Amino acid sequence: MAMAESDALVSDLFRREAGKISAWLARLLGPSRLDLIEDAVQDAFGVALARWPEDGVPERPAAWLAVAARNRALDRLKHEAKSAPFDEAAAWRLGFSNPEATGRLDDTLALMFVACHPALAPDEQTMLTLKTVCGFGVKDVARAYLTTPDAVTQRLVRAKRKIRELGLRFEIPEGPALGERLPALIAAIYLLFNGGYTAGEGEGLMAQELCAEALRLATLLTEHPATATGEAHALAALIAFHHARAGARTGEAGELLLLSEQDRGKWDRPLIARGFTHLASAMSADTLTALHLEAAIAAAHAGAASFAATDWPTVAHYYHLLEELKPTPVVRLNAAIAIAHAEGPAVGLARLDALDAEKLARYALYHAARGALLLRLDRRSEAADATARALTCPLTAPERIHLERRLRECRSKPETPIAPA
Amino acid sequence: MPSFLLLLHSNVDRPKPSSPDEYMAITKTYMAWTDRIRREGHHQGGQKLTDDAGKILRNAGGRVSITDGPYAESKEVLGGYYLITARDYEEACKVAVTSPHLGYGGRIEVRQIHEL
């Protein structure tokens, strides 16, 4: 096999298998040994990269990697005995372990509960989840967070130290503990999704990967009886609806396409169907959370045949309910935009102008939305000012292209026909 | 295909490994053997049991007594078990005879699982 070919195979396998092997080893060795486990898994993939090009790819590569990682873990356990009493029981658990038993849902969820322990800061939770559960390298995590690998490593070291100090058990919590720990897990996945969906300056591809991972993790939650709550289903629905539009969100020049401009034929229909299934499960639960409403709003868009056919009064109604549960400036902003669609640009603009402009000063969507409404009211110079203001905020490349086009539109004379983008 | 239980008995007085290295070496031989019978399609499961005598429950004239394990009657302790697949006792023994357990002075009891 050619070198490049086996390299690609290993990196593909790494993403898929590293998290499974880590979760399996964490079950055998305990979550306080995440460092040892990550090193062992890393070593195993290093050995694969060195050997497979010459020896050929083994018949069952995933099991081969699990065996290699386990053997490395055993060596490292011996090394550990230099500074602490030898953990004989852990060695025997490795000795009797079954390397074909990786990928169990219980193990992956237990690892997620460790990584998303409420004692960890939210970004520590998401970074550790990406690293251990999703098999992202430190460089990829750094890319997702627009920071340096060193900074990521520091955060991970701190997070793992906290986990050791907490002396966590490797398990899916039960009873009241489950209720205390699940919200952090859901919040972390939401953050991962949000980071992917609105990655500032980030690369589009990375953003999609984050969304795909968030979708995978949220779906895992809905597959286990302990974690398949209404809120978990709502989260899975929300991410599915948004991720279904990933392929339609950018135009040929890489510019951002708004909901109104997207080719709905490019939406991922099977994924939207999955979203509706999760939404139905979410609605059969007896609690209504903010995520339920966010999912319902996304569903209203996903179910509309065209932008013009959007049921804006319903969307505005959901936003109204959401504002009560989650009265953040960003939710109020989106509520105002929905009202603008339902009741006209003047009403929407009045709602926007009633918001706390200071809190939204660095938020591009606020200025962009004002610009769009002002343009619809034909207040062109004000529209241009607001759009220019949006361009000074943190933006992704597609968003920037979109807003620059809008700015030209604001500055063009009304009688000049607007060139198609 | 029938299933067999391999019960790994050890002598209580066997010399204990004196260093992590020695432990490691022993663990690795069991691990390699486990991997081998897995590759050969015999392995179904197996666990090491803790190094204590366990508990024995008896019904003595309607009263259940619980006493410490078999040390009192035997010099042997059950150290672990494997569940394997084999055609018959002959094949099960052929699998068991390759176990490193025998090399460490242990005894292996092979028992067929009664299929219902």
A101 interfacial to chain B (CB closer than 8 Å): no
Phi, psi values for residue B6, rounded to 5°: -100, 115
Q: Which range is least confidently modeled, A191-205, A312-326, B34-48?
A: A191-205
What integer pLDDT is reported at residue A204 of this predicted model?
A: 65
**Per-residue pLDDT for A381 more than 50?**
yes
Which top CATH class is B3-112? alpha beta
CA dihedral A22, A24, A25, A31 (to 10 degrees): 80
ipTM above threshold 0.85: no
- The secondary structure of residue B58, as a DSSP letter, is E
- The secondary structure of residue B10, as a DSSP letter, is E
Distance from the B103 Cα atom to the nearest Cα atom in chain A, whole angstroms: 17
What integer pLDDT is reported at residue A16 of this predicted model?
A: 84
- Mean pLDDT over residues A381-392, rounded? 94
A100 interfacial to chain B (CB closer than 8 Å): yes
Predicted confidence (pLDDT) per residue in A151-171, tens digit: 999 999 999 999 999 999 999
Predicted confidence (pLDDT) per residue in A101-122, tens digit: 899 999 999 999 999 999 999 9
What integer pLDDT is reported at residue A202 of this predicted model?
A: 47
Q: Which amino acid appears at position A340 of this protein? A: A
Instruction: With cut-offs at 50, 70 and 90, classify the pLDDT of residue A203.
Output: low
**Per-residue pLDDT for A421 more than 70?**
no
- Mean pLDDT over residues B8-22, rounded? 82
**Per-residue pLDDT for A417 more than 60?**
no
> What pTM, to 2 d.p., does this model score?
0.84
Q: Which range is least confidently modeled, A129-133, A345-349, A379-383, A396-400?
A: A396-400
What integer pLDDT is reported at residue A295 of this predicted model?
A: 97
Predicted confidence (pLDDT) per residue in B60-100, tens digit: 889 999 988 776 566 788 989 999 999 999 999 999 999 99
- Mean pLDDT over residues A79-96, rounded? 86
Name the closest residue on chain A to residue B31, using Cα atoms. A95
3-state secondary structure labels for all residues of A101-154: CCCCHHHHHHHHHHHCCCCCCHHHHHHHHHHHHCCCCHHHHHHHCCCCHHHHHH
Instruction: With cut-offs at 50, 70 and 90, classify the pLDDT of residue A420.
Output: very low
A62 interfacial to chain B (CB closer than 8 Å): no
Interface of B with A in 29-48 (CB under 8 A): 30-31, 34-35, 38, 43, 45-48
- The rounded Cα A313 to chain-centroid distance in angstroms is 29
What integer pLDDT is reported at residue B51 of this predicted model?
A: 78
**Per-residue pLDDT for A44 more than 90?**
yes
A58 interfacial to chain B (CB closer than 8 Å): no
- The rounded Cα A198 to chain-centroid distance in angstroms is 10
What integer pLDDT is reported at residue A5 of this predicted model?
A: 67
Of A74, A73, A19, A69, nearest to A46 (Cα)? A69
Q: At what angle do helices A312-325 and A329-343 cross, to 10 degrees?
A: 160
Report whether A42 contacts A82 (CB < 8 A).
no
What integer pLDDT is reported at residue A240 of this predicted model?
A: 97
**Per-residue pLDDT for A196 more than 70?**
no
Query: What angle is formed at CA A375 by the lines to CA A370 and CA A378, rounded to 5 degrees?
Result: 130
- Mean pLDDT over residues B22-33, rounded? 88
Q: b/e map of B66-99 (b: 16 or more CB within 10 Å)?
A: eeeebeeeeebbbbbbbebbbeeeebbeebbeeb
Query: What angle is formed at CA A360 by the lines to CA A394 and CA A381, rounded to 5 degrees?
Result: 80
Instruction: With cut-offs at 50, 70 and 90, classify the pLDDT of residue A146.
Output: confident
A81 interfacial to chain B (CB closer than 8 Å): yes
